[in-house]
């Protein structure tokens, strides 16, 4: 996939964002064999510095010229930046792992969750797309069930944390909460209405069909990653006042009967999955507990008695890690395995 | 239903709880023809006083003797108290409107949402059950759709506010939030884990089938109130860090094809429903906005493209008002219409 070397020069574009910072941390934690690590940001953040392996690395303004000598470029600076700069990085010889939605649904671009479809990495043209956070955690859990029992339909409702929007949204939740506790007015800037002590059924823009883009990502990306356009998905995505960690209430209908115990048995050994399911003993995942963890947690597994072959699951993951930075670094790790 | 009089003596049992306080407010707001209003609580709160129509009414310790002369007793002090004292109140000549789960599933006890099944009030034996908050708001919206298009299946995920647990849970959310903002440890008492900035897929006790009691209430109460045991319901109920207002992501499958516009048209004139659905203009209900309102708000109405006849809806109501106190007072209003 990538020519074998001892070290790879890595660029992080959007290094000072919520996901960018996590990318730098994950690269260090997982001892990714980075030679040079170059950090880039826009005008606003260039000039800062960030710690990496005990060094302070400068965050530089990124331009079209910065990709020379880079082996792997991790992009997390929004779709517009990706659309403009990813092709330039590829032309300069880098493989781009892009966290934005810019290229995800282009047929030639692999959309990869390593536990699910690492083989799709074999055929790329320089750009690999990192899926949307809410999709990643869902497919990690659904794929092993689909392989054995064939999932026909998914009804998913999400509880998404503000870090999915970015650092400024995390600040807004904090500022609003502080204001409310001291009886001051709040004036939302990032979200259209107050997020503190509230739930907003609104993530990303709305489309003509009434769904939000976030909801359609769950539909389209799931089919692409699971490589099965016959899986029917319908989604409702909701922002909740949680800092880190997305939760999902997932109802599935399978072709063959799958019991709750059968699902537990499969998921207990599934890659990247942590089965956490014993509600009588108060064991079920919550975003607060799962924040900072690498695995996708699943609990509250119940047979859905409203249809012959149905199951309800509660799936929680750290949206900045497995939902973004970790998955991107895992893709990089696959690439350098060659 | 009740002998016609100019005034009815009303008792509120559990008057100092989150729902009890709302009951007193709603009785005043709606100019319920209360003669005497007598407020009762347990040892812990007896001795306080509460405002009603400009007067300070004492909250008295309630005993088996207090129901003499009472026409209508509103109970909101938990299932155990209801089980013990409601029959005593009935024997003393009162009609009991009970907000607990104690009697809801007893076949002879009407379980009533006036907009949906007020006729069930015709045959009671002294006790009328007020449904669970999460059920009330759902059936107010689903009934008019069911009448015309027959709902076959419901997949519901709830986002329930802490006021559903009670006043001490509202205090816990506040205390935890304050502690976290000043970097102190939190020590949950009401909930098993921290609720501030978190989501708990755990409401009420868990049953052998893996569902919580709250989830099974949505199944069983919906069938009873809609008077149709063929409606299949599966539920996931989740506590969120919101003070007042429950939200529900509801997916329905209908027998006959129902378009989003068709549903909007029906719901725009449905009793007790406020259609609030224009996401492009950022019009969708949130619990913060709906708190304090009497109507059940519905928005995000979308055709579910994963099945031929499906619809997604986002339903929000004030759980203390329509989900509890208001519905109970509306039942009382129906009773005195005779």
- Is the minimum CB–CB distance between B335 and chain A shorter than 8 Å? no
Q: Which positions in chain B touch A289 (Cβ < 8 Å)? A: 193
Q: Which residue of B178, B199, B202 is in closest CB contact with A240?
A: B199
A108 and A229 within one domain: no
Kindly provide the ipTM of the predicted complex, given to two decimals.
Answer: 0.96
Minimum distance, in Å, between the CA of residue B23 and any CA atom of chain A: 24
- Is the minimum CB–CB distance between A287 and chain B shorter than 8 Å? yes
Count A/B contacts: CB-CB distance under 8 Å.
Answer: 171
Contact B154, B250 (CB under 8 A): yes
In the numeric block, the tokens 């509230």 are attached to A198
Contact B283, B223 (CB under 8 A): no
Q: Tens digit of pLDDT for each residue in B67-118? A: 999 999 999 999 999 999 999 999 999 999 999 999 999 999 999 999 999 9
Q: Which positions in chain B touch A210 (Cβ < 8 Å)? A: 260, 279, 300-303
A118 and A208 within one domain: no
pLDDT at B4: 84
In the numeric block, the tokens 């016609």 are attached to B4
- Is the minimum CB–CB distance between A310 and chain B shorter than 8 Å? yes
Instruction: With a cut of 80, say whether residue B338 has pLDDT above it.
Output: no
pLDDT at B3: 81
B3 domain residue, yes or no = no
When scoring A153, A157, A238, A261 by the number of chain B Cβ atoms within 10 A, the one with the most, hence best to mutate, is: A157
B141 and B118 within one domain: no
> Average pLDDT in the A99-124 region?
97
Percent of chain B with pLDDT over 90: 96
Contact B72, B11 (CB under 8 A): yes
A179 and A61 within one domain: no
A2 domain residue, yes or no = no
pLDDT at A152: 98
Nearest 10 degrees: Cα torsion B222, B136, A299, A254 = 40
- Is the minimum CB–CB distance between B121 and chain A shorter than 8 Å? no
A258 and A110 within one domain: no
Q: Which positions in chain A touch B280 (Cβ < 8 Å)? A: 206
A247/B238 Cα distance (integer angstroms) = 10
B2 domain residue, yes or no = no
When scoring A178, A198, A220 by the number of chain B Cβ atoms within 10 A, the one with the most, hence best to mutate, is: A198
**pTM, 2 dp:** 0.97
H-type alpha helices, B131-182: 133-149, 167-181
Q: What is the DSSP letter of B120?
A: G
When scoring B157, B280, B290 by the number of chain A Cβ atoms within 10 A, the one with the most, hence best to mutate, is: B157
Which is more confident, B4 or B82?
B82
A106 and A238 within one domain: no
pLDDT at A162: 98
Query: C-alpha angle B126/B144/B312, rounded to 5°?
Result: 120
B12 and B28 within one domain: yes
Q: Tens digit of pLDDT for each residue in B266-309? A: 999 999 999 999 999 999 999 999 999 999 999 999 999 999 99
A46/A239 Cα distance (integer angstroms) = 30
Instruction: Identify the domain containing residue B263 by its residue range.
Output: 135-319
Contact B289 A193 (CB under 8 A): yes
Minimum distance, in Å, between the CA of residue A153 and any CA atom of chain B: 7
Alpha-carbon distance values, B242 to A240, A285, B173, B290, B322 (Å): 9, 19, 8, 12, 17
**CATH code for the domain in which residue A171 is found:** 3.30.360.10
Instruction: With a cut of 70, say whether residue A172 has pLDDT above it.
Output: yes
Minimum distance, in Å, between the CA of residue B328 and any CA atom of chain A: 26
B9/B111 Cα distance (integer angstroms) = 23
Query: C-alpha angle B271/B276/B277, rounded to 5°?
Result: 125
Contact B306 A157 (CB under 8 A): no
B133 is catalytic: yes
Minimum distance, in Å, between the CA of residue B274 and any CA atom of chain A: 17
A227 and A143 within one domain: yes
> Average pLDDT in the A207-228 region?
98
Q: How many domains does chain A have?
A: 2
pLDDT at A2: 83
Measured N-to-C along each axis, helices B133-149 and B213-225 cross at an angle, to the nearest 10 degrees, of 40
Percent of chain A with pLDDT over 90: 96
Find the distance separating the first CA and the last CA of chain B, reported in whole Å.
5
Q: Tens digit of pLDDT for each residue in A52-95? A: 999 999 999 989 999 999 999 999 999 999 999 999 999 999 99
B140 and B126 within one domain: no
Q: Which residue of A201, A238, A249 is in closest CB contact with B236?
A: A249
A45 and A177 within one domain: no
Instruction: With a cut of 90, say whether residue B145 has pLDDT above it.
Output: yes
Beta bridge partners of B37: B10
Instruction: With a cut of 80, say whether residue B170 has pLDDT above it.
Output: yes
CB atoms within 10 A of CB B7: 12
pLDDT at B1: 64
pLDDT at A97: 98
Q: Of the candidates B263, B287, B285, B282, which has an alpha carbon nearest to the alpha carbon of residue B274?
A: B285
B139 and B57 within one domain: no
- Is the minimum CB–CB distance between A308 and chain B shorter than 8 Å? no
- Is the minimum CB–CB distance between B286 and chain A shorter than 8 Å? yes
B32/A195 Cα distance (integer angstroms) = 36
- Is the minimum CB–CB distance between B279 and chain A shorter than 8 Å? yes
Task: Produce one character per residue of B158-190: b if its CB has 16 or more CB atoms within 10 Å, e if not.
Answer: bbbbbbbbbbebbebbbbbbeebeeeeebeeeb
Contact A197 B241 (CB under 8 A): yes
CB atoms within 10 A of CB B257: 12
- Is the minimum CB–CB distance between A281 and chain B shorter than 8 Å? no
Q: Which residue does chain A place closest to B160, by CA atoms?
A: A199
**CATH code for the domain in which residue A12 is found:** 3.40.50.720
A324/A20 Cα distance (integer angstroms) = 9
Which segment of A39-53, A123-137, A167-181, B134-148 scores lowest on mean pLDDT? A39-53
- Is the minimum CB–CB distance between B301 and chain A shorter than 8 Å? yes
Beta bridge partners of B59: B39
Q: Which residue of B159, B193, B260 is in closest CB contact with A238?
A: B159
Instruction: With a cut of 90, say whether residue A3 has pLDDT above it.
Output: no
> Average pLDDT in the A311-326 region?
98
Contact B70, B93 (CB under 8 A): yes
> Average pLDDT in the B250-259 region?
98
A1 domain residue, yes or no = no
Residues 6+ apart with CB under 8 A from B37: B9, B10, B11, B12, B24, B27, B52, B57
Q: How many CA atoms lie within 13 A of B283 on its CB side?
A: 9
pLDDT at A338: 65
- Is the minimum CB–CB distance between A185 and chain B shorter than 8 Å? no
Nearest 10 degrees: Cα torsion A25, A29, A34, A36 = 40
Q: Which residue of B210, B279, B289 is in closest CB contact with A279?
A: B210
A329 and A243 within one domain: no
Residues 6+ apart with CB under 8 A from B140: B113, B115, B116, B270, B271, B272, B273, B296, B317, B322
Q: Which positions in chain A touch B228 (Cβ < 8 Å)? A: none
Minimum distance, in Å, between the CA of residue B81 and any CA atom of chain A: 25
Q: Which positions in chain A touch B164 (Cβ < 8 Å)? A: none
φ and ψ at A60, to 5 degrees? -105, 155
A185 domain residue, yes or no = yes
Q: Which positions in chain B touch A159 (Cβ < 8 Å)? A: 159, 199, 238, 240
């Amino acid at each position: 996939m990538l020519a074998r070397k001892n070290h790879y020069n890595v660029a992080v574009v959007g290094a000072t964002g919520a996901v960018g910072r996590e990318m730098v941390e994950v690269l260090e934690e997982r001892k990714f064999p980075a030679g040079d690590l170059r950090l880039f940001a826009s005008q606003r953040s260039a000039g800062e510095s960030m710690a990496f392996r005990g060094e302070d690395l400068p965050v530089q303004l990124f331009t079209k010229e910065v990709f020379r000598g880079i082996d792997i470029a991790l992009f997390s600076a929004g779709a517009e930046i990706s659309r403009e700069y990813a092709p330039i990085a590829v032309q300069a010889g880098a493989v781009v792992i892009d966290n934005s939605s810019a290229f995800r649904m282009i047929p030639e671009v692999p959309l990869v969750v390593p536990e699910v479809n690492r083989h799709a990495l074999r055929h790329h043209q320089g750009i690999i797309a990192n899926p949307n956070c809410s999709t990643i955690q869902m497919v990690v859990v659904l794929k092993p069930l689909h392989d054995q029992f064939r999932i026909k339909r998914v009804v998913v409702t999400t509880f998404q944390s503000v870090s999915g929007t970015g650092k400024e949204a995390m600040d807004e939740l904090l500022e609003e909460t502080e204001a409310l506790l001291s009886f001051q007015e709040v004036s939302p800037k990032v979200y259209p209405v107050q997020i503190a002590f509230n739930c907003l059924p609104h993530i990303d823009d709305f489309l003509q069909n009434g769904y939000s883009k976030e909801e359609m990502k769950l539909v389209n990306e799931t089919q692409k990653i699971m490589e099965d356009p016959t899986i029917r998905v319908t989604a409702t995505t909701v922002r909740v006042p949680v800092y880190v960690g997305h939760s999902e209430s997932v109802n599935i209908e399978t072709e063959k009967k799958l019991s709750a115990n059968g699902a537990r048995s499969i998921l207990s050994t599934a890659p990247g999955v942590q089965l956490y399911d014993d509600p009588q003993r108060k064991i079920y995942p919550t975003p607060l507990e799962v924040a900072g963890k690498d695995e996708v947690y699943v609990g509250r597994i119940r047979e859905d008695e409203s249809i012959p072959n149905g199951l309800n699951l509660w799936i929680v993951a750290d949206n900045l890690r497995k939902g973004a930075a970790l998955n991107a670094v895992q893709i990089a790790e696959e690439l350098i395995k060659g």
